[in-house]
Amino acid sequence: MEQLPKSTMAELQTTVANGQTILFWTADWCPDCRFIKPAMPEIEAEYADFKFIQVDRDENIDLAAEMGIMGIPSFVAYRDGEEIGRFVNKDRKTKEEVETFINNLPK
């Protein structure tokens, strides 16, 4: 999975400008993030039409605040630069919940 370097909102917009992208907000210290991380390669393979990008919340704390990312792990989906969905809360997320989120994104 690609890792987003420290970025501004303008830089992020360039990153998500084309195609379908899902940002996976996480942090090394987060136990709920560590819970879902092992399932991410499988999720990535299952949804190969999306580019998955891992975003370190601590490295991108200003961007997280600007985007309203208050809990991690969180997922934000884009299509051609437009946000099409978010699964953002402070709860632990299962593989099935992440798949349901992706499956329910607008086509």
Catalytic positions, written as ranges: 30, 33
CA angle 7, 89, 17 (to 5 degrees): 35
Which amino acid, 32? D
Contacts of 77 (CB under 8 A, 6+ apart): 20, 21, 22, 23, 50, 83, 84, 85, 86, 101, 102, 105
Distance CA 66, CA 68 (A): 6
